[in-house]
A and B are shown apart, each in its own frame.
Chain A
Amino acid sequence: MRSFLRQTDRLLRGRDVAGDESPRSALPRLLLTIGLFGVLYGATMGTFGGLTAERWLQPVYSGLKVPLLLLVTFVLSLPSFFVLNTILGLRADFAYVLRSLVAMQAGITVILASLAPFTAFWYASVEDYNAALMFNALMFAIASIAGQFTLKRSYKPLIARDPRHRLMMRGWLLIYAFVGIQMGWVLRPFVGSPDAPTRFFRQGAWGNAYVEVFHIAGRAMGW
């Protein structure tokens, strides 16, 4: 436990990159980090409706959804990223690339977990559901921007070896964000509206985030 926390600390300080463990042994630890800290934030996120007898499942669901959001997005984006890396001639470094990508997600969950007290405090002080949504969106935005620093730091030695890695890093952020935004939309509800019954997936909530945004923009423009 203690060494696990120490490793997490190293991850935040960017010392994890050249750590003395191989990518192979680092992956399970990083996945555990994503699971633990993701559940921590997700569970906090799901407490908006209160911890009454009929709503106790929402924190559990939300807790499961945060790691799920990151990992499923990761798995879906990986094949194309792998092929793109290969044809750019970067296959030899792929184990390190993979590790950097997982480390980025671990970083995001740790940052999110550190923001969980703010979310709890916000829930305790503001009752509005939409405000809760906005606040969580803000927390996710902060965590993903900060998470990019983790990625940039672990990519630094790779970029120094081969500048093409910079292009691929940007490509990854593009693919990951593109899929991740839609994944977040599909996995709703995270916060759990207090008026709606607790469910893992919201009834009839599928649909496409980008098309929605397009429609909202269209309505705003008066089309």
Chain B
Amino acid sequence: MLTWFKALDRVLKGEATRLDSLRGGSIALPFGGLSVLLILLGAVYGACMGAFALMGRWGTDTQASGYLQMLASASKVPMLFSLTLLVTFPSLYVFNALVGSRLGFASVGRLMVAALAVTMAVLASFGTILVFFSLCTTSYPFIVLLNVVMFAIAGVLGMRFLLQTLHRLAVARELDDAAAIVPTPIAVTAPTEVPAESIAPQAYSSELPASVSKPPGALDRIEGHAFGPHVRSIFKIWILVFGLVGAQMGWVLRPFIGNPNAPFTFFRERESNFFEAVVNKIGEVATWDTKKAKPARQRHDDRAGMPLPPATTKTYTGD
């Protein structure tokens, strides 16, 4: 378990995706262990998501269904990510092979797990803030909006990591090839940045830990040639598809947050789809009537619900 956490830490710090770690053409990480960890992280965030439903029912006779919602959300967030991956992975792999990428099945799989690790770690780390707001907020749309923002930030960072790592894999592969042709060891291209010490004021620089050549972070771009443009566009298209499928998957798996006015259900009725709902919501914002939309649950006073935002990103998974 500890080694899994260490592996996660290495991915986050960017150590696992440094050029010298990628020389074998794949990211070295414990695939199974990290997957288990990802499920746990997703469950942590899911439980934080479900806290709102629990707080809304706290002290009432439906408190038990609040716990149920929490459990349901904790199981649904890992489900959301793994099912989306399950749907999109085969075609990604096939098209990736079709355009002549040299990434093998295992390499693509590891790449996915590493990218999801970044997403889930960011998401889970937002959990404390989410629970705090769940504790003191009665407005359901506010919590939905907050979740949308958190998912969007985590999603963008994960996707950026994916594209950068893909690029690095290509650079590492090229270095491997060069080393195969010319048997002299080739120095791994260090990031060409001005050594920080020369800029830093002398009084301070002695105090900070000395690191002249900064190791690149997990999201930094490394100089060098990338894969062929096809492989990159395949992954870019895949990111779009992942986002679309993920959004719809989130819609199918609703409710995540659990409207406090609605009774607990593990799944809701299958109605319309995510994209139709977004279009409807945009229409709703224009015609939203605050007086009509007052929630039935009134903990302290009559606080009307805030209209749902029209801007719902593709990582939207609210219900």
B217–A218 contact, CB under 8 A?
no
Chain A residue numbers with a CB within 8 Å of B220 are 89
Count contacts on A: residues with CB < 8 A to the other chain.
Answer: 45
CA distance A179 to B134 in the complex (A): 12
| CB atoms of B14 and A208 under 8 A apart | no
Instruction: State whether B219 touches A89 (Cβ < 8 A).
Output: yes
CB closest chain-A residue, reference B137: A208
Total number of A-B contacts with CB less than 8 angstroms? 132
Chain B residues with a Cβ closer than 8 Å to the other chain, count: 49
Q: Does B218 contact A (CB under 8 A)?
A: yes
Taking the complex as formed, is B136 at the interface, i.e. its CB lies under 8 A from any CB of chain A?
A: yes
Contact status B196-A161, CB under 8 Å: yes
B84 CB to nearest chain A CB (Å): 21
* Docked-complex contact B136 and A206, CB < 8 angstroms: yes
Chain A residues within an 8 Å CB radius of B14:
87, 89
Set of chain B residues within 8 Å of A178, measured between Cβ atoms? 129
Is A208 touching B142 in the complex (CB atoms < 8 A)?
A: yes
CA distance A156 to B135 in the complex (A): 36
Q: Which segment, of A32-40, A45-53, A76-84, faces chain B?
A: A76-84
Q: Are A86 and B290 in contact (CB under 8 A)?
A: no
CB distance from B42 to the nearest CB of A (A): 15
The answer to whether B200 and A160 touch across the interface, beta carbons within 8 angstroms, is: yes
Q: Produce 1/0 per residue, A118-142, CB < 8 A to B.
A: 0000000000000000000000000
User: Which residues of chain B are near A185, meaning CB under 8 Å?
Assistant: 136
- What is the CA–CA distance of A207 and B133 in the complex, to the nearest angstrom? 9
B304 near A86 with CB under 8 A, answer no
Residue A90 CB within 8 A of the other chain: yes
- Residue-wise interface mask of A (149-189) relative to B, using a CB-CB cutoff of 8 A (1 in contact, 0 not): 00000001110111010000000000100110011011000
Residues of A within 8 A of B122 (CB): 80, 83-84, 87
Task: Evaluate whether A79 and B13 lie within 8 angstroms (CB atoms) in the complex, with A87-B218, A218-B290 already known.
Answer: no
Q: Is B272 an interface residue (CB 8 A)?
A: no
- Please report the C-alpha to C-alpha distance between residue A218 and residue B303 in the assembled complex, in whole angstroms: 12
With contacts A87-B219, A88-B219, A160-B201 taken as known, whether A77 is within 8 angstroms of B208 at the C-beta atoms is: no
Given known contacts A157-B208, A207-B303, A88 and B217 CB-to-CB distance under 8 angstroms: yes
Chain B hits for A204, CB < 8 A:
299-301
Q: Is the CB of B132 within 8 A of A157?
A: no
* A186 engages B209 (CB within 8 Å): no
Partner of A83, one of B121, B142, B300: B121
Residues of A within 8 A of B (CB): 17-18, 75-80, 82-84, 86-93, 96, 156-158, 160-162, 164, 175, 178-179, 182-183, 185-186, 204-208, 210-211, 214-215, 218, 223
Q: Can you sample 8 A-B contacts with CB below 8 Å?
A: A18-B204, A87-B157, A88-B218, A91-B12, A91-B13, A157-B208, A162-B214, A179-B129
